[in-house]
Amino acid sequence: MFRRSFLASAALALALGSAANAQDDPTKVGFVYVGPIGDGGWTFTHNEGRLAVEEAFGDDVETIFQESVPEGADAERAMTQMALSGVDIVFATSFGYMDQIIAVAEKFPDVRFEHATGYKRADNVSTYSARFYEGRAVQGHIAGSMTESNVIGYIASYPIPEVIRGINSAYIHAKKANPDVEFRVVWVYTWFDPAKEADAATALIEQGADVILQHTDSTAPLAAAAEAGNVIGFGQASDMADFKPAPRVSSILDIWGPYYVDRVQAVKDGTWGSVDTWHGIGDGMVGIGEITDAVPADVAAEAMALKESIAAGEYHPFTGPLNMQDGSVWLADGEVADDGTLLGMNFYVEGLSGDIPQ
């Protein structure tokens, strides 16, 4: 609360300051973050995107941001405040802001809104997201190739399509690399709770997992892996480079900077329009962090080849033949999953055990 009101008054001071020299007229860009910048994961990477915008445009742009804005009514207040302070474009970086964005966007038709991971659009509202499941495919390949116990632990956050896609993609490619592989999924119902993530990792390791995949934001699972020894893991959202070369053997990177720069440029050029963007490795929105020496050279080379073929569009991580968990056919041989199914994915593929909590 203290920090938020401090930032709010800072934002107000910035707004007053910019009103004084409005003739210079830099493009004003607002960012709404769901967590603290210091989370080392999701919000951290969006802030890196903001810094990329500042670097690309220098004095021609002015950015403001608000951290730890709760999803729900408070987000509406935060975005209204930003709109009133004269921003040209707002990037709202959490799924749960969706209805608030639509409401605020109606009131401020001259302000453009960009909503990360949402699906509701309007004339002045765009949506954007990244195909993280492409990165999960590469991760799954490394995990399947490296495991010796054939047990891979997966720390999942919430049972939503985004997370389920990741589990399926990782499993499919781990299984290809190692037919004996088995996934143990633990749902922790949080994006960020280091103590709980550490406990989940420990529970998985105690039950024989020697690879830990995570869809939560903190580095706690890597710390638990480091303590256990002989267990590997991956950076999530950001590189988590402090745990190189092991347990962090690679990572999935969220790279928002180029997209943000593009969209701000579009505002400057007057070409901004409402779009729906879903970019992957090929477009540079998803990156694979350095694969360390802890991974055997041939596995690393295979992983890079997989990454390249996905980037070039030659290979789609969800290519048939693939069955659903109950054995019914999902994709025939050579068939590729369509985006609609992927966006609403609520089922496991064949081979995964357990149920998705409803």
From 21, 22, 58, 195, residue interacting with another protein (rule: CB under 8 A): 195
164 touches another protein by CB under 8 A: no
Tokens representing 88 are 């040209």
Strand partners, 154: 185, 213
* Phi, psi angle pair for 108, to nearest 5°: -125, 75
From 30, 49, 194, 317, residue interacting with another protein (rule: CB under 8 A): 194
101 touches another protein by CB under 8 A: no
Strand partners, 92: 32, 115
1 touches another protein by CB under 8 A: yes
**Minimum distance, C-beta of residue 17 to another protein, in the bound complex (Å):** 24
Strand partners, 276: 127
Tokens representing 319 are 């290519």
40 touches another protein by CB under 8 A: yes
**Site map 67..86 versus another protein, x via CB under 8 A:** --------------------
Indicate the burial class of 13 (C-beta count within 10 angstroms; 0-12, 13-18, 19 or more): exposed
**Minimum distance, C-beta of residue 153 to another protein, in the bound complex (Å):** 7
Among 133-141, 206-214, 275-283, 337-345, the segment contacting another protein (CB under 8 A):
206-214
Q: Return the SS3 of 313.
A: coil
Give the C-alpha separation, 42 to 116, whole Å: 11
353 touches another protein by CB under 8 A: yes
280 touches another protein by CB under 8 A: no
What's the first-to-final CA gap in the chain, in angstroms?
33
Count of alpha carbons within 13 Å of 276, Cβ hemisphere only? 9
From 64, 111, 181, 200, residue interacting with another protein (rule: CB under 8 A): 200
313 touches another protein by CB under 8 A: no
198 touches another protein by CB under 8 A: yes
Of 77, 80, 67, 76, nearest to 99 by C-alpha is 76
211 touches another protein by CB under 8 A: no
Q: Is the dihedral of CA 335, 337, 338, 341 positive or negative?
A: positive
167 touches another protein by CB under 8 A: no
Q: Which is nearer to another protein, 114 or 210 (CB)?
A: 210
Quick one: how far is CA 289 from the chain centroid?
Answer: 14
By CB under 8 A, name the binding residues for another protein. 1-3, 35-36, 38-40, 153, 184-190, 192-196, 198-200, 202-204, 206-209, 218-220, 223-224, 226-227, 240, 242-243, 353-355, 357
